[in-house]
Amino acid sequence: MNKKKIAIIICVLLGLQVLSSYTQNWHLTASGAIPGNHKIIISQDTVYGNAAIYEDTMNNTFGAVKLRKKLGLFYEFGGHAVKESPDRDMPFQAVGFENDVEEDDSYVVGVKVNRDSNITSVSLGYHKKITDYNEPYEFSMKDIEAHPDKYLVEEVKDGYALFVMDEYTHEGWTIRGFDKEGNMVADKLFSAQPRYTNW
């Protein structure tokens, strides 16, 4: 072999070595990028790749995850938050996390609905702050329709709802679940636990 071919081979090998140090955490599938053995339930395209809700049936947990897209083909784990699935007496459980504050689509909220709750849609937001958490209040999808700029609403798919927002807000942690008629079934007011609202 001549010296030119040897130099090309050495450059290619060095290039592959450098590339492998960058790509060792890149995966061809989104679920492969999440540490452990998980199944992705819902995903949504974002400016950085994907946001998703995944399930770990071995540990009875679920989580929300950020997956960066690399070279348009690979996925890289970008952070996540994990919660236990809701207990029988809980209507739902929510998990959320914020990352890369300067990046759009940086706040992800995942909601897992209890199968027996009759919740078919979930909302984030509020137009009127509730100060007394023990005081019953009336609320339905009609309130959301009257104030559409204050709420995000997602249908429950396979027991989950996924929300992607640009930033964390107090409104983003006010969560309500509705039945198919649009009646409120449950809520999670800011800094409180999820509860049924059959008062």
Give me the pLDDT at residue 197, please: 95
- Classify residue 11 by burial, with Cβ atoms within 10 Å: 0-12, 13-18, 19+: exposed
Q: What domain range includes position 188?
A: 3-196
Give me the pLDDT at residue 119, please: 98
The Cα–Cα gap between 11 and 116 comes to 61
Amino acid (1-letter code) at residue 147: H
- With H, G, I as helix, E, B as strand and everything else as coil, classify residue 28: coil
In the chain, the number of structural domains is 1
Give me the pLDDT at residue 135, please: 92
Q: What stretches of 34-153 show up as alpha helix (H) in DSSP?
A: 141-146
Q: Output 15-21 pairs: Cβ under 8 A, ≥24 positions apart.
A: none
Closest residue by Cα to residue 118 from 157, 147, 89, 91: 91
pLDDT averaged per 10 residues in sequence order, the chain, 199 residues: 70 51 63 81 88 87 88 82 87 86 75 95 92 91 96 96 86 92 96 91
Give me the pLDDT at residue 50, please: 87
Give me the pLDDT at residue 19, please: 47
Give me the pLDDT at residue 62, please: 93
Q: Which residues, 6 or more positions from 76, have their beta carbon under 8 angstroms from its beta carbon?
A: 25, 26, 27, 33, 49, 67, 68, 69, 70
Give me the pLDDT at residue 11, please: 60
